[in-house]
Structure 1
Amino acid sequence: MKDAFQLKTDLTFLNHGSFGACPKPVFENFQDFQREMEQDPVYFIQKKFAMHLAKAKEALATFINCNVNDFIFTPNPTVGVNTIMRSLNLQEGDEILATNHEYGAMDRTWNFYCKKSGAKYVRQPITLPIISKEQIIEEFWQGVSAKTKIIFLNQISSTTALIFPVKEICEKARELGITTIIDGAHVPGHIELDIKALQPDYYTGTLHKWMLAPKGSSFLYVRKELQNQLDPLVVSWGYDSLAPSESPFLDLHEYQGTNDNAAYLCTPAVIGFLHQHNWVQKSDAAKKMVLQNYPRFCALLNSNPIAPLSAEFFGQMASIPVRTSKPEELKDLLFDKYKIQIPVMLLNNEVYLRYSINAYNSQADLDVLYGALADIIQTTTIIEV
């Protein structure tokens, strides 16, 4: 499948998880919308945009199994979560329960809003290595208190690449009357997402990662009972609309003037590409490759798995602990000398090497990585084994 993408041929690309990679036909559809808009911007924005948006939303609603009027498109999950946060009306002493595996931008955003409100962001430690799903659940709920108002949880961790038991946590949160905000940035197109089955209060995910959409395409789902409580980040024509729809939620959040919405509009092409190329099967093959290679990288780096090697905890990417005091230097060396694009990330005072596998990857790509790491171990002191 590598010919279907625009990735450099001399690059070993093992970092789909950061920003994705868009197939050529989807990117062409994206540019077609941009060209159509430029041919008559007024007509496109005022007359055709709503029609294209409706088709895009219908396609995505079917793909993630939710009502078409219960979500909006956003450029990324950070925008979605910021939209939620500014409307939560947090009070001094309120607590937000998360884990110590959340995305760094989200940690920073919660810290920002907590500083303004006096609320407390609780990063509950989840011990590595993971032993079982039950261990995660038990450790997570040790962080709850009578002051817990919000549960914020990534479904797949960015740095550790671990899949978290979000469904079970959402179920208990509903019993306790605690609001749930789920960061599913890595989920759509990666593992199954069924919003109606999950029943979160809020859920945000990207299309431009594992669904292969152009950059800047994500969504924010909001449970219907909470939609009228959500203020827009930007107030525009949807406020006191001259032609209001049945949903003030959509009026306030969907129409923001001259944003470039082409990435959203090609959602039908995105989903069409996935179906046309049997992407579920390709994803399954990638997941098997991730698990099959994990033990040999652990052996090379003198490391241990951070969770049982199964689909319960790993998808199309995996993180391996690596002992180094120079993570940025290691990342730059892998790119500059060996032409390997791969993240080396720091979390909770540990460093992780995370490889992502998609249909354009092959075993040869992981062999290149293995050879590069072996060479670095032999010729430098950057990696300690």
Structure 2
Amino acid sequence: MKSQFHLNPEITFLNHGSFGACPKPIFEEYQRFQLELEHEPVYFIQKKSAGYLKTARESLAKFVGCEAQDLFFTPNPTFAVNTIMRSLKLQAGDEILTTNHEYGAMDRTWHFYCKKSGAKYIRQEISLPIISKEQILDEFWKGVTSKTKVIFLNQISSSTALIFPVKEICDKARELGLITIIDGAHVPGHIDLDITDLNPDFYTGTLHKWMLAPKGSSFLYVKKDYQNDIEPLVVSWGYESDFPGESQFLDYHEYQGTRDISAFLCTPKVIEFLEENNWKEKAKVCRKLVLDNYQDFCDLLNTKPLCPITEEFLGQMASIPIRTSKPLELKELLYEKYKIQIPVMPLNGTIYLRYSINAYNSQEDLAILHQALTDIIQTTDLIEV
């Protein structure tokens, strides 16, 4: 599969999780839409974009398990969460319950909002290593109080690469009358997703990570009960539109005048590529690589896995605790000397080395990483074992 991607063949690329990688046929579709836009920009934007977006939305909705009228495209999940956050009418002292495993940009978004509103962002500790799903649920719900109004949770964490029991949390939150906002940045195309079954109030995910779309393609799903309450992050021609579309919700959020929507419009091609290349089977092979190698890397670094090494908690990524006081230097050394692209990330006082595996990777790539780490341990003081 390596020949299907534009990735630099001189780099061992073990960081699909950060920004994804786009196959050549999808990238060609992306450029085709960009050329069509430039060929006749006025006609494209004023006449064709709405129909193209509707087609893209319908294909995406079928893929993620919801109605096409209940989602719109965004550049990234951070944009989506900002949209939700600025529409919430929380009062001073109201609480947003989350975990201490959330993505840093999301933490910053909520801290910004809380400074403005007086609400409180509660990062409930989920201790490591994970023993069971029940442990996560027990520890998480210890954070709920009479002031809790919102549950915010990543379905797959970034730094720790763990799959969280979102379905169970959404079910209980609904019983308690709490708003649920799920950050599924790493989910679409990675693990099975059926938004209707999860039944959150809000869900955001990317297409440019595990679905292989061009960069800057994500979505926000909003349950019908909340669609009239969500204000557009950017007010433009869709607000109080002179030419209303199929819903005010989509008018407000979908139409913003001059912007390049080519990445969104590739969605049907993205799904076609995944289906034609039997991506579910390829993903299964990738998950096996992740699981088969996890313990070996922990043994090499003299650390322990973050969870049981099963598909209940791990997908196509795994984070290995690594003892280093110089994570940035280690990351740069791995890239500059060993030509390995891999993140070294701090979270809650621990440093993690996270490898991501997709269909262009092989056991050989992980063997290259293993040898590089062995060499660094033997020749430098960057890693303590």
**1:205-225 Cα shifts (integer Å, max 9, x gaps):** 000000000000000000001
Distance in 2 between residues matched to 1:266 and 1:4, nearest whole Å: 17
Deviation at 1:117, TM superposition (A): 0.6
Distance in 1 between residues matched to 2:47 and 2:321, nearest whole Å: 53
**What secondary structure sits across from 1:69 in the alignment?**
helix
Distance in 1 between residues matched to 2:46 and 2:124, nearest whole Å: 47
Paired residues for 1:32-51 under 5 Å: 32-51=32-51
Paired residues for 1:147-296 under 5 Å: 147-296=147-296
Distance in 1 between residues matched to 2:129 and 2:137, nearest whole Å: 14
Distance in 1 between residues matched to 2:159 and 2:177, nearest whole Å: 30
Deviation at 1:51, TM superposition (A): 1.6
Paired residues for 1:1-385 under 5 Å: 1-385=1-385
Deviation at 1:370, TM superposition (A): 0.2
Equivalenced residue count is: 385
**1:270-307 Cα shifts (integer Å, max 9, x gaps):** 00000000000000000000000011101100011110
**What secondary structure sits across from 2:355 in the alignment?**
strand
Identity of aligned residues (%): 71
Which residue identity is paired with 2:139? E
Deviation at 1:245, TM superposition (A): 2.6
Give runs of ≥4 in structure 1 deviating > 3 Å: none
Deviation at 1:246, TM superposition (A): 3.8
**What secondary structure sits across from 2:80 in the alignment?**
helix
Deviation at 1:240, TM superposition (A): 1.3
So what's the TM-score if we normalise by structure 1? Answer: 1.00
**What secondary structure sits across from 2:96 in the alignment?**
strand
| Structure 1 spans left out of the alignment, 5+ residues | none
Which residue identity is paired with 1:147? K
Which residue identity is paired with 1:137? L
Distance in 1 between residues matched to 2:97 and 2:77, nearest whole Å: 18
**What secondary structure sits across from 1:345 in the alignment?**
strand
**What secondary structure sits across from 1:54 in the alignment?**
helix
So what's the TM-score if we normalise by structure 2? Answer: 1.00
Deviation at 1:50, TM superposition (A): 1.3
Which residue identity is paired with 2:63? F
**1:312-370 Cα shifts (integer Å, max 9, x gaps):** 00000000000001010100000000000000000000000000000000000000000
**1:189-216 Cα shifts (integer Å, max 9, x gaps):** 0000001100000000000000000000
| Higher alpha-carbon deviation: 241-250 or 202-211 | 241-250
Once superposed, what is the RMSD of the aligned Cα atoms?
Answer: 0.5
Deviation at 1:58, TM superposition (A): 1.0
Distance in 2 between residues matched to 1:343 and 1:240, nearest whole Å: 45
Which residue identity is paired with 1:366? L
Deviation at 1:162, TM superposition (A): 0.2
Which residue identity is paired with 1:225? D
**What secondary structure sits across from 1:376 in the alignment?**
helix
**What secondary structure sits across from 2:220 in the alignment?**
strand
Distance in 1 between residues matched to 2:188 and 2:55, nearest whole Å: 18
Deviation at 1:242, TM superposition (A): 1.0
Distance in 1 between residues matched to 2:81 and 2:246, nearest whole Å: 24
Distance in 1 between residues matched to 2:54 and 2:227, nearest whole Å: 19
**What secondary structure sits across from 1:134 in the alignment?**
helix
Distance in 1 between residues matched to 2:240 and 2:166, nearest whole Å: 37
Which residue identity is paired with 2:70? D
**What secondary structure sits across from 1:354 in the alignment?**
strand
Distance in 1 between residues matched to 2:86 and 2:51, nearest whole Å: 30
